Amino acid sequence: MNQALRNAPDARHPLDKLRDPGTVRARCKAVLRAAENNVSEYFRIDRSQLPAVAERVAALTLRRFPDLKIPYHSRWRHFEAGGLDRRAELDRLLQDRSPAEAARARFDLTVVSVLLDAGAGAAWQYTEPGTGQVLSRSEGLGVASWHAFLQGSFSATAADPLRADAAVLERVDAAALRAVFQSSPSNPIVGLDGRAGLLQRLGAALRAEAARAGGEARPGLLYDRLIRGGTLATVSASQVLHEVLRVLGPIWTSGSRVQGLLAGDVWPHRWASAAAGDGTDDATTGGWVPFHKLSQWLSYSLLEPLQWAGVTVTGLDALTGLPEYRNGGLLLDGGVIVPREPRMLARTWKPQDDFIVEWRALTVALLDEVAVLVRKQLGKSAEEMPLACVLEGGTWAAGREIAREKRGDGSPPLKIESDGTIF
């Protein structure tokens, strides 16, 4: 079979259009066009603030990475919290394994850790054993899941702790995660039940995929699916996202259903159909805005383990910016996305609310524009500084920085009711 055809997404799947990052961009740009036409009841766009936001991102990028050697926005950055090279420890533990088996272990760690990375709440902290570092938010969640993985918390084999097996994931409950995250009444973390349910469904999805097409029932089977059993040395970023969405699709029960199928982080919006004519609309998926935030975050986080295994990753800029608290908060706090009624920021919203869907769509579309301006200020091309590096350099850190300037506790500018999965 022609390799291009063999690597193409399964166009026969009813949700294929909604799994394409090109559709994510097109639908989000349609929402931006509508807002620019001044028909939004929630937001207006102030483009005069874009240069200042880009200047903030560029300046912060230079402070963090003076040589402009910027890694990808990835869960692996959280494993470096506090300036510690934790990856070196894992590399040492994996040094006697084949590149493929080491890659499977890194995939196991990455998938489990990313799926545990939803909002932790402002009150929660994690004290790292051995170092005594006190970490919170994404860094704390990342380091806590790192130690749980190294201790064999997700392994079904005592002799091999560095793995995550479906049989164990299916048994994870809130009590187990409470121990992993050192959570207690005095150190509460939000969304434990949601996280536990997500890992349980991950285990079931992996078991089903292994039964369908072979391989061990563990996240590492994604590595084997991507490289087609060792026959591929090159994989595109879009392929990574498509495989993540295909295999893990059943776990997103708190998202939307489209045509009766679990679609995940995909939401209806009246302006999504305005993308008609750009090739992303069809009779079954028009009117929906896909984001796949956590799946894209996972895809970004799997790029380095692929490269460390010797796989070439292409098409990095196919994936989009991530529409979440920090990136979207940067654009709100930076005055680019302007609520028509400021009091709306005081409410607590649900992911499916039009206000949130619209804000997230505007975030995705405008992050592409911020990236262009940041590259121009830093004298880099898109090839030299792909979006994954702009995000890391970057927009996410700038969103956290401006949040601390505007609010003492560094909280995001809006609130979303979270079950620990989609957000």
Chain position carrying tokens 């350099």: 393
pLDDT score of 18? 94
Residue 86 has pLDDT above 90, yes or no: yes
Mean pLDDT along residues 342-367: 96
Could you report the per-residue pLDDT of 150-209, keeping only the tens digit for each?
Answer: 999 999 999 999 999 999 999 999 999 999 999 999 999 988 998 999 999 999 999 999
- Cα–Cα distance, 327 to 341 (Å, whole number): 21
pLDDT score of 121? 80
Residue 20 has pLDDT above 60, yes or no: yes
Residue 217 has pLDDT above 70, yes or no: yes
230 or 278: which carries more pLDDT confidence?
A: 230
Helix (H) or strand (E) holding 348: strand 348-349
Could you report the per-residue pLDDT of 124-149, keeping only the tens digit for each?
Answer: 999 999 999 999 989 999 999 999 99
End-to-end CA distance of the chain: 40
Query: What pLDDT band is residue 272 in, cutting at 50, 70 and 90?
Result: confident
pLDDT score of 326? 94
Helix (H) or strand (E) holding 134: strand 134-135
- Cα–Cα distance, 208 to 91 (Å, whole number): 30
Residue 227 has pLDDT above 50, yes or no: yes
The pLDDT mean for the chain works out to 92
% of the chain residues with pLDDT over 90 = 85
By mean pLDDT, which of 251-255, 282-286, 349-353, 359-363 is the weakest? 282-286
Residue 396 has pLDDT above 80, yes or no: yes
Mean pLDDT along residues 274-287: 64
For the entire predicted model, the pTM comes to 0.93
Burial profile 198-223: b = 16 or more Cβ within 10 angstroms, e = fewer: bbbbbbbbbbebbeeeebebbbbbbb
Mean pLDDT along residues 82-109: 96
By mean pLDDT, which of 13-17, 61-65, 355-359, 403-407 is the weakest? 13-17
pLDDT score of 229? 76
From 45, 172, 186, select the one nearest 125 (Cα to Cα). Answer: 186
Residue 6 has pLDDT above 70, yes or no: no
Residue 246: burial class (beta carbons within 10 Å; 0-12, 13-18, 19+):
middle
- Residues, the chain: 423
10 or 310: which carries more pLDDT confidence?
A: 310
Q: What is the DSSP string of 237-270?
A: HHHHHHHHHHHHGGG-TTSEEETTEEEESEEE-T
Instruction: Give every CB contact of residue 413 below 8 A, 6+ residues apart in sequence.
Output: 329, 332, 333, 345, 403, 406, 407
Query: What pLDDT band is residue 2 in, cutting at 50, 70 and 90?
Result: very low
- Cα–Cα distance, 394 to 374 (Å, whole number): 9
Cα angle: 44, vertex 46, 48; to 5 degrees:
170
